[in-house]
Amino acid sequence: MSERGLLHAVIDALPDDALDEVSRYLAAHCDHPVLRALLLAAPEDEELSSDELAMLQAARADRAAGTGRYITDEELARRIGG
């Protein structure tokens, strides 16, 4: 088994409560600066508003029903003020 394969096996065998610590340790050794910054960023801790939760629930229902709606990049930018 290769070293990479062995690492995958070890990670798969870790208990859930060790995953955060191990992932941060590994992220600190990542050579790609953008990926490293994303991996080490603090988790999102802001609560979703009731409107955001409703939109998320509607989107998930659309996806589950296979009726998801697609919009253009331009429309998305317009909606989010970009």
Q: What is the pTM of this model?
A: 0.42
pLDDT at 51: 94
Count of Cβ atoms closer than 10 Å to residue 51 Cβ: 8
Q: Which of 66, 48, 65 is nearest to 56 (CA)?
A: 48
What's the pLDDT tens digit per position in 34-82? Answer: 988 887 888 788 899 999 999 999 999 999 999 988 889 999 999 888 7
Question: Domain coordinates of the chain in residue numbers?
Answer: 3-40, 50-80
**70 vs 76: CA distance, rounded Å:** 10
